[in-house]
A = this chain, B = another copy of it.
């Protein structure tokens, strides 16, 4: 049988017989066309010949040719076989080695900023003592949540499955407004509530919305670095403001130029645990009104108060529409839910809704509807009480079991709020030693040094300390961790 010689060496085509042969052949031929080994207008072998050369069925070759033909890599002449297409290869021969312009463009500004502003990867293992930022989510009523999820998804309202309100589920926003009114004395219209993907998105939206590149932003120092970095990523120049026993030192605001936004954690400063005093609150509000600036008030753990009365949030005192209040379900339910909210001044509600529409359209509908039902049915309020009791008991387990005297480390403060506490250590070297020895026995301690801005004043020793989350694991686990610590620190 006479055979046309093949226009390429078929022995280079290695086909794996456990997978789709025609797709592999298609890919091998496409690669050769794009790479130039099979040049423009080269005639391909008859399907029968190539099938024989490769030891595959003719059908396999026909399917591969069909695909290449359909995609425009091949062209046929009636009665005259199949050729590599002309246009494709013209473009291809340039495409495979395109001349790069001499002035290679710089990276985008955001990519450049990302080289310094990013978060360390999260810890992906199960909670352990003394991780910060997580509540007692082992106590979450998952059975109830599962039931509510199933109820919602069995018969979801058809109108809710398409594109929805960018600001969030209207019922959930009403319930949040009512909750804030009752629990924080914060009176707002449900229209001011914008549902977000956790507090981080709330903060990040504020950064995008309110900060121009080069603007100054005042942040607590030490403070919540994930917030600072979100502002820095938007192009802000961060100004660290000291935190003393009254909280964020508003007196330092006067010295900051071009600074019209302050990010604060008034109810329980992160990470020091201080509460912002009333005079400072009023001074901060006055500053924002005078500068026509903004205050982003992050009330991340306002539900946790073990003694005394909480102060009104800045948002409740604000008479000039300058406060954006950040709330989250992460510390009552769990962070993986990614459900939080913003309460913004009425002048900004439309803009925030629009920015969310262009950014994400809206949040997933099931989580919002199920949380609304969880609140409306009373589970949420019950769970807050359960979580508060648990966090307090876990705090007590930490305070009672902590070693009597840790050299170089101050005694633990009796915190009356929140899910963590922090304590000063005499030197950076000692801080590292305590953290590393703890890590060696499986106990997570966080260095206070990590919470400061890079260009903070004072010596490294001035910034040393420990931050301990006490709510994430049971008293039992805390006791075991403390026993391990005592041994490790000897």
Interface residues of A (CB under 8 A from B): 23, 26-27, 30, 34, 66-67, 70-73, 85, 87-88, 90-92, 94-96, 98-101, 104-105, 108-111, 114, 117-119, 121-127, 131, 133-134, 137-138, 140, 142-143, 145-147, 149-156, 158-166, 185, 197-198, 200-201, 204, 208-213, 226, 229-230, 233, 260, 277-279, 282-283, 285-286, 289-293, 308-309, 311-312, 317, 319-320, 334-339, 351, 354-355, 357-367, 472
Contact = CB atoms under 8 A, between A and B. Distances in A.
Which one of A109, A357, A359 has the greatest number of beta carbons of chain B within 10 Å? Answer: A359
A98 B233 contact: no
Contacts of A99: 290
A87 B124 contact: no
Contact of A95 (B98, B230, B289): B289
A79 B461 CA distance: 46
| 8 A-B pairs with the lowest CB-CB distances in the bound complex, closest first | A72-B278, A91-B282, A146-B153, A122-B163, A70-B309, A150-B150, A118-B354, A95-B286
Nearest to A63: B309
B338 A360 contact: yes
A459 to B, nearest CB: 29
List the number of copies, as a whole number. Answer: 2
A108 B211 contact: yes
B358 A311 contact: no
Contacts of A198: 360-361
Given A124-B165, A137-B161, A335-B361, A143 B149 contact: no
B311 A122 contact: no
Contact of A319 (B96, B114, B160, B289): B96
Contact of A359 (B137, B201, B260, B312): B201
Contact of A142 (B114, B133, B154, B282): B154
Contacts of A163: 122-123, 133, 335-336
Nearest to A361: B200
Given A119-B354, A200-B359, 12 more contacts: A123-B163, A124-B159, A126-B158, A127-B159, A133-B162, A142-B155, A146-B152, A149-B153, A162-B472, A201-B360, A336-B365, A337-B364
Contacts of A362: 338
A226 B111 CA distance: 23
A277 B336 contact: no
Contacts of A142: 153-156
B110 A208 contact: yes
B98 A355 contact: no
Contact of A309 (B67, B147, B156, B185): B67
A78 B61 CA distance: 98
Contact of A291 (B101, B143, B161, B289): B101
A444 to B, nearest CB: 12
B233 A70 contact: no
Given A105-B292, A126-B158, A126-B159, A364 B364 contact: yes
Given A201-B360, A278-B72, A98 B354 contact: no
Contact of A311 (B71, B125, B212, B282): B71
Contacts of A94: 286
Contact of A197 (B88, B311, B363): B363
A147 B23 CA distance: 36
Given A100-B290, A354-B114, A164 B122 contact: yes
Which one of A27, A150, A277, A290 has the greatest number of beta carbons of chain B within 10 Å? Answer: A150
A323 B308 CA distance: 57
Contact of A360 (B98, B160, B204): B204
Contact of A138 (B111, B158, B292): B158
Contact of A165 (B122, B156, B165, B367): B122
A23 B181 CA distance: 11
Nearest to A119: B357
